[in-house]
C-alpha cells in the first residue's frame, strides 16, 4: 500500500500479516504451544481400553472442531470477498470533511463482501436474488462501512417489517422448501399484501437479479445519507458503485443450468480474475441534493423504495475501487467480517430513512450472536487501522490486554483519559438536525405512492428486458399454488403495467385486467442494461479444437488475448491437441468437465480428423450458446458444422477464413448478447 499512516498506525495489510502463520515444516503443538509426540491415537487405558479424560490434547482438538462453525448469517449467508484499495479522483471537501475523501494521493484499504440474500451458506450463486455489495473502508479516522445491494431500492419502507419480509422469502417452515428461491406462496402473498414492495419486485424480476459476474454488477447504498463539510453544511447523498466492465446479466435458463454445473460460479469468477491480474474495478458515484431542495421532487427522498432518477439528479463519479488481493482464509476474513451501516467517520451522517434507522440497531445485535460477544471488532479483519481506546472491558473473545485500574469515565486516577475530543480535533458530532413531532406509529403520506417508480422502471426497459421480466413473473407465479395469491399479484401489478399484468395472467391462468397502459411520459435510460458499457475484456471463450487444427489458430488466439479475452481450449481429453504444422495447444477443459453456460462465447474450430462424436459435442456447445444469445465463431471445419446445423447466418454468429474474422468476432463478443437473434 502507498498510504501513509499516522504514528502507531499500521496499514490493514500489515495488521493482518501479524496474525498469519505458515504451518509448513513446523513441529505439531497444542494451542498452548506444547509439542506433541502423537496425533493419531487418543490416550487409552490399554490398547483396547476406554479413552481417558486425562487426554487434554484430544479434548482440545475435539472441542475446537465442535465449535468451528458459527451461526450463518440469516440473510447474506452465501458470500465471497476480496481486498482492495480506493482512490479518490478529486477532493470532496466541498461536501464532506471525511479525511479519506479529501486527498486523491491517498489510497484507502478496503474489504468488499458480495453475497446473495435469501439462500443458505450452501446454496447456489446464480439464483434469482438481490446481491449484497458491502464495502469496509479502513480509514485513518476509523472504519467506514458502506453496506448496500446491487439494487438501489428495497422491498419495505420501515425496518419493523424486515423480519416479516425475510420470513416470507425464506423456505416455508412446514417443509423447509424451496431453498434460495422466491418462487413460492409465502413470498408472493407478502408482496400482494405489502404493496410498497412493487418497485423492488420489478428490479428482482429483471435481469439485475441474475448478474453475469460480481465484477459486472452495480452497487448502491440504497439509503439517503448526509455528507457534512468542515463548515457544518450538509447535503443529502446517495452512493453508487459503477463497474468499469459495465452491468451484464445471465439469462434465466443459463442461470439455472449453471447452478447445477458450477454452484460456485460467481466466487470462482471473482477469485480467478484477481489471481489472473484482471482486477475488478468500480467507480464510486454520488448523487447530491441540497438540504433546501429536500421537498422539491415528486417522491420522498427518504423513502427506501424510491430511487433518485439519474437524469434528474446526475451521478458524479468521484473515485475508483480496485480489488487486487484474494483472501487468505475464507472463514477468518469473509465469514468473520462484521459490517454495520452505523460505522461512519466524521463528515458522513444519517437521514431519517426509517429502514436505515432500524438497521442502525439490528446490525450490532446480529454480530453479538454470530461472533460470540461484544469484541467482534478485535478480530483481525474487523480491526481498524488506527488505534482505538475506550473503557470497554472483558467479554467473549477479548484480545486487548488493558493496563491499569481505570475502566470508567470520568476519572482522576488516569487524568480522565481516554477522553473525548472536540469536533474541531476530529471528534465525531452528529449533524444537528431540528426534530420535533408527536410520538406516533405511522407513515408519512409522502411514502404512499408505491407504483409510479415501478412504472418508470418498466417504461425504461428495452424490449428484451421486458420479455425477461414477463417470463420471470410467469415462472415465479407459476410455482405459486394459491390461485388467490396469483390473482392478487396480477391485480397489484396492473397498477404498474396492464401489458405486463395481462401477459402474466395469460401465462398462469389468472383473470387479466382490463384497460390499457397510459402513454409513456417519462423513462430513465440509466435503468436499462441496454445502455451499459460493452467491452470484450475478461470474457471467456470456449475454443473447441481437435487434432490437426489449422496453423492459423494460434494467431487468432493471440489476437483475442491482446483484447483481454480469455480463450480456453475444450476438447475430448486433457491431452494436448496438435496442429497440422506440429504446434501444440494445452487443453483446459473436456466436454465432460465444462459446458457452454460457463463461457461468454463459443469458437468452433474442429478439424477434418474429428469424429462424429466430437462434431456432435461441439454442436451441443454451439447450440446451447445460440439459445442463450451468445456470440459464436467458427473457422475451418467448424464453419461447415454450423452451416449444417443452420446456425451460420444469424446475428452474432461469425464465420470465415479471412483476416476479418478476428475483428468481427471480437466485436460480437463485446456486444455480450445478440437479442435480435431468432431462437426457436
Residues 6+ apart with CB under 8 A from 431: 226, 228, 234, 349
- How far apart are alpha carbons 668 and 654 in whole angstroms? 8
The verdict on whether omega for the bond into residue 178 sits within 30 degrees of 0, i.e. cis, is: yes
Q: Shortest CA distance to 653 belongs to which of 636, 677, 670?
A: 677
Instruction: Output the DSSP codes for 117-157.
Output: SSS-TTS-SSSSS-EEEEEEEEETTEEEEEEEESSSS-S-S
Strand (E) or helix (H) holding 204: helix 198-204
What crossing angle do the helices spanning 612-627 and 637-645 adopt, rounded to 10°? 60
Q: Is there a catalytic annotation at residue 76?
A: yes
Q: Are 504 and 491 in contact (CB under 8 A)?
A: no
- Give the dihedral sign, CA 29/30/33/36: negative
Catalytic residue among 76, 377, 628, 672: 76
The verdict on whether omega for the bond into residue 427 sits within 30 degrees of 0, i.e. cis, is: no
Q: Shortest CA distance to 241 belongs to which of 299, 321, 166, 305?
A: 321
What crossing angle do the helices spanning 463-478 and 498-508 adopt, rounded to 10°? 40
- How far apart are alpha carbons 670 and 141 in whole angstroms? 42
The verdict on whether omega for the bond into residue 396 sits within 30 degrees of 0, i.e. cis, is: no
Q: Shortest CA distance to 245 belongs to which of 283, 190, 193?
A: 283
Q: Are 345 and 372 in contact (CB under 8 A)?
A: no
Residue 653 pairs in a beta bridge with: 632
Per-residue 3-state assignment (H helix, E strand, C coil) for 314-349: CCEEEEEEEEEEECCCHHHHHHCCCCCCCCCCCCEE
Per DSSP, the three-state class of 617 is helix
Cα-based angle 607, 608, 609 (whole degrees, multiple of 5): 90
Cell 487524568 sits at which residue? Answer: 415
Chain centroid to Cα 368, Å, comes to 24
Strand (E) or helix (H) holding 477: helix 463-478
Catalytic residue among 57, 83, 143, 149: 149
How many of the other CB atoms lie within 10 Å of CB of 46?
6
Residue 639 pairs in a beta bridge with: none
* No. of helices (H) and no. of strands (E), the chain: 16, 18
Q: Is there a catalytic annotation at residue 5?
A: no
Per DSSP, the three-state class of 159 is helix
- How far apart are alpha carbons 593 and 427 in whole angstroms? 57
In this structure, the dihedral spanned by the alpha carbons of residues 486, 487, 489 and 494, taken in order and rounded to 10 degrees, is 140
Per-residue exposure over 153-163, b if at least 16 CB sit within 10 Å of its own CB, e if not: bbbbbbbebbe
Q: Shortest CA distance to 112 belongs to which of 145, 71, 74?
A: 145
- Indicate which residues carry an active-site annotation: 76, 149
Amino acid at each position: 500500500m502507498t498510504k501513509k499512516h499516522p504514528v502507531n498506525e499500521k496499514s490493514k495489510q500489515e495488521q493482518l500479516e501479524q496474525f498469519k502463520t505458515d504451518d509448513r515444516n513446523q513441529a505439531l503443538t497444542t494451542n498452548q504451544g506444547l509439542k506433541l509426540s502423537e496425533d493419531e491415537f487418543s490416550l487409552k487405558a490399554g490398547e483396547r481400553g476406554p479413552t481417558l479424560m486425562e487426554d487434554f490434547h484430544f479434548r482440545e482438538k475435539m472441542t475446537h472442531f465442535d465449535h468451528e462453525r458459527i451461526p450463518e448469517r440469516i440473510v447474506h449467508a452465501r458470500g465471497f470477498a476480496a481486498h482492495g484499495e480506493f482512490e479518490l479522483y478529486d477532493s470532496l471537501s466541498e461536501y464532506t470533511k471525511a479525511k479519506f475523501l479529501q486527498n486523491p494521493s491517498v489510497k484507502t484499504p478496503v474489504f468488499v463482501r458480495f453475497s446473495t440474500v435469501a439462500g443458505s451458506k450452501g446454496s447456489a450463486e446464480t439464483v434469482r436474488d438481490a446481491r449484497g455489495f458491502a464495502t469496509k473502508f479502513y480509514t485513518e479516522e476509523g472504519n467506514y462501512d458502506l453496506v448496500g445491494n446491487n439494487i438501489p431500492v428495497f422491498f419495505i419502507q420501515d425496518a419493523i417489517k424486515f423480519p416479516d419480509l425475510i420470513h416470507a422469502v425464506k423456505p416455508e417452515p412446514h417443509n423447509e422448501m424451496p431453498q434460495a428461491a422466491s418462487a413460492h406462496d409465502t413470498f408472493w402473498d407478502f408482496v400482494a399484501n405489502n404493496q410498497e414492495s412493487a418497485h423492488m419486485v420489478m428490479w428482482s424480476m429483471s435481469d439485475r437479479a441474475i448478474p453475469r459476474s460480481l465484477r459486472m454488477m452495480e452497487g448502491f447504498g440504497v439509503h439517503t445519507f448526509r455528507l457534512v463539510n468542515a463548515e457544518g453544511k450538509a447535503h443529502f447523498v446517495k452512493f453508487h458503485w459503477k463497474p468499469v466492465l459495465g452491468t451484464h446479466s445471465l439469462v434465466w435458463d443459463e442461470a439455472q443450468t449453471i447452478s447445477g454445473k458450477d454452484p460456485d460460479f460467481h466466487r470462482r469468477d471473482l477469485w480467478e480474475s484477481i489471481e489472473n491480474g484482471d482486477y475488478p474495478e468500480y467507480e464510486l458515484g454520488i448523487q447530491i441534493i441540497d438540504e433546501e431542495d429536500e421537498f422539491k421532487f415528486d417522491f420522498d427522498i427518504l423513502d427506501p423504495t424510491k430511487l433518485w432518477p439519474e437524469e434528474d439528479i446526475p451521478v458524479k463519479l468521484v473515485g475508483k475501487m480496485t480489488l487486487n488481493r484474494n483472501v487468505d482464509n475464507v472463514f477468518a476474513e469473509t465469514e468473520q467480517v462484521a459490517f454495520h451501516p452505523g460505522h461512519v467517520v466524521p463528515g458522513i451522517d444519517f437521514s431519517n430513512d426509517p429502514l436505515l434507522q432500524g438497521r442502525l440497531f439490528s446490525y450490532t445485535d446480529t454480530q453479538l450472536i454470530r461472533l460470540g460477544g461484544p469484541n467482534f471488532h478485535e478480530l483481525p479483519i474487523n480491526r481498524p487501522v488506527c488505534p482505538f481506546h475506550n473503557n470497554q472491558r472483558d467479554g467473549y473473545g477479548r484480545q486487548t490486554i488493558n493496563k491499569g485500574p481505570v475502566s470508567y469515565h470520568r476519572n482522576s486516577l488516569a487524568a480522565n483519559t481516554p477522553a473525548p475530543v472536540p469536533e474541531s480535533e476530529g471528534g465525531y458530532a452528529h449533524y444537528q438536525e431540528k426534530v420535533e413531532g408527536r410520538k406516533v406509529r405511522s407513515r408519512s403520506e409522502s411514502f404512499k405512492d408505491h407504483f409510479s417508480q415501478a412504472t418508470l422502471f418498466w417504461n425504461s426497459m428495452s424490449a428484451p428486458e421486458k420479455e425477461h421480466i414477463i417470463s420471470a413473473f410467469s415462472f415465479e407465479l407459476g410455482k405459486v399454488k394459491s390461485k388467490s395469491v396469483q390473482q392478487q399479484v396480477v391485480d397489484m401489478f396492473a397498477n404498474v403495467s396492464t401489458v405486463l399484468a395481462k401477459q402474466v395472467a395469460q401465462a398462469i391462468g389468472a383473470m387479466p385486467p382490463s384497460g390499457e397502459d397510459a402513454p409513456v411520459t417519462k423513462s430513465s435510460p440509466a435503468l436499462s442494461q441496454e445502455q451499459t458499457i460493452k467491452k470484450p475484456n475478461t470474457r471467456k471463450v470456449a475454443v473447441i479444437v481437435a487434432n490437426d487444427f489449422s496453423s492459423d489458430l494460434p494467431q487468432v488466439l493471440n489476437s483475442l488475448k491482446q483484447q483481454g479475452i480469455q480463450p480456453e481450449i475444450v476438447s475430448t481429453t486433457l491431452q494436448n491437441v496438435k496442429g497440422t504444422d506440429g504446434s501444440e495447444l494445452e487443453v483446459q477443459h473436456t466436454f465432460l468437465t465444462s459446458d457452454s453456460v460457463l463461457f461468454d462465447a463459443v469458437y468452433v474450430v474442429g478439424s477434418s480428423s474429428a469424429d462424429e462424436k466430437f462434431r456432435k459435442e461441439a454442436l451441443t456447445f454451439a447450440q446451447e450458446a445460440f439459445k442463450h444469445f451468445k456470440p459464436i465463431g467458427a473457422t475451418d471445419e467448424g464453419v461447415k458444422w454450423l452451416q449444417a446445423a443452420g446456425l451460420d447466418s444469424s446475428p452474432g454468429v461469425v464465420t470465415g477464413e479471412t483476416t476479418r474474422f478476428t475483428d468481427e468476432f471480437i466485436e460480437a463478443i463485446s456486444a455480450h448478447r445478440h437479442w435480435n437473434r431468432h431462437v426457436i
